[in-house]
Amino acid sequence: MKSYIFSLFSRFFLAFSGFAVFVVTAALFGANGRGTIGYGTSLFAVIGLILSLNLGRAFLGKTKQDNDSKEKLISTFLLLNVALSLVSAFVGIAFWKFSAVAQQMLSLKQVLILSLTSFFYVWSVNGNAFYASFMLTQLQERIILGTRFLLMIFLGFLFLFK
C-alpha cells in the first residue's frame, strides 16, 4: 500500500511541478516568453517522440522478460536510446536552421539549450519500459520525484531573483 501511495504522490507532484513551471515562466517571461518556450519544447518533443522509435517496447519484445536476454541487451538498448536522443537534437536544430519561422521564434542560443530536451522526450517514451522490465519502477519514481523537487527549488530561485 505504501508503494502505491508513493506512486500516486510522485505522479501528483509531477503534474503539480509542471503546472508550477507554467505559472512561474508565464509570470517571469510573459506571453511572448511562454510562446518561445512552448514553441521550442514542442519542436524537440515532436521530433524526440517520433525518433524514439518506441525502443523501450522493442526491448520488452526482444527480451520477453527473460533475465539473461535483459542483462545481455540492456547496454545496447541504452546506447541506442542515447544515440536516438542525439539524432533528435540534431534534427531539431536542422529544422530550426532551415525554417524562417523557427528562426524568428528562437535564437541560436535558445535552440541549443532546448535541444537538450530531446534527451528527456526520448527517455520519456522508452525509459518506463526499461525500468519496468527490471521491476525498478519504484526507483524510477524516486528519481522523478527528486528531479522534480530540484526543479521546484530552481523555480523558486528563478522567481525570487528574476
CA dihedral 34, 8, 142, 116 (to 10 degrees): -20
Helix (H) or strand (E) holding 30: helix 2-51
Express each pLDDT in 38-86 by its tens digit.
Answer: 888 888 898 998 999 988 888 988 888 788 888 899 999 999 999 999 9
Long-range contacts from 143-146, C-beta under 8 angstroms, 24+ separation: 144/10, 144/14, 145/9, 145/10, 145/13, 145/14
Residue 60's Cα: distance from chain center in Å?
A: 20
Helix (H) or strand (E) holding 141: helix 137-161
> d(Cα 25, Cα 87) in Å, to the nearest integer?
28
- Within 10 angstroms of residue 79's Cβ, the number of other Cβ atoms is 10
Are 121 and 48 spatial neighbours (Cβ–Cβ below 8 Å)? yes
Average pLDDT over residues 3-12: 84
Banded model confidence at residue 90, pLDDT cuts 50, 70, 90: very high
